[in-house]
Amino acid sequence: MTPVAAPPAPAVNAAAYRSSGRAYAAIAADVGATLESPIAGRVEVRLYQLINGEIRVGANVPTLAFFPYVVVRSGDRVLTLRPGALNIDSEVLVRDGSTVSAGTPLVRVIGSGASSWRTFYDRNLQAQVVASLTTAAGADLDAVPLFTRH
């Protein structure tokens, strides 16, 4: 019997993106793509909603979309992922307060909608996830190489 090759993993490509003088990675990902943590650390999951034009954390308006931010804090770096609407365009694969190692799945893209960044800040953005990587002190690092695979 001839072995059947596994289908290729969904594509994930990142491009440099700047907003308000800060560096980000705009991640275009196929539906089904999973973004893994490039660093070990402790996870924070925050849910935001846009209510009457105001971005609110901790709100619970069931008729409005929830947008997750998944943050991984290590001793010297902070990674923040900003995917699209929860359970519509993104699925969070980790729990708030958990500890992850490099390679742990964080977010799965389940729809074609854009990152919360589009809803909150930039109507022209098409990327499914906006990522930032900073030092613990807040200086920008380049997240683009961490999220590009074909």
Q: Are β-strands 34-36 and 12-19 bridged in parallel, bridged antiparallel, or unpaired?
A: unpaired
Q: Is 59 helix (H, G, I), strand (E, B) or coil?
A: coil
Name all domains of the chain by residue range, CATH numbers in brackets. 12-147 (2.70.70.10)
* Digit-coded pLDDT (tens) for 7-41: 777 899 999 999 999 999 999 999 999 999 999 99
* Digit-coded pLDDT (tens) for 37-47: 999 999 999 99
Q: What is the pTM of this model?
A: 0.92
The DSSP output letter for 136 is T
| Count of CB atoms situated within 10 Å of the CB of 104 | 18
DSSP-H helix ranges across 3-130: 116-120
CB of 47 closer than 8 Å to CB of 55: no
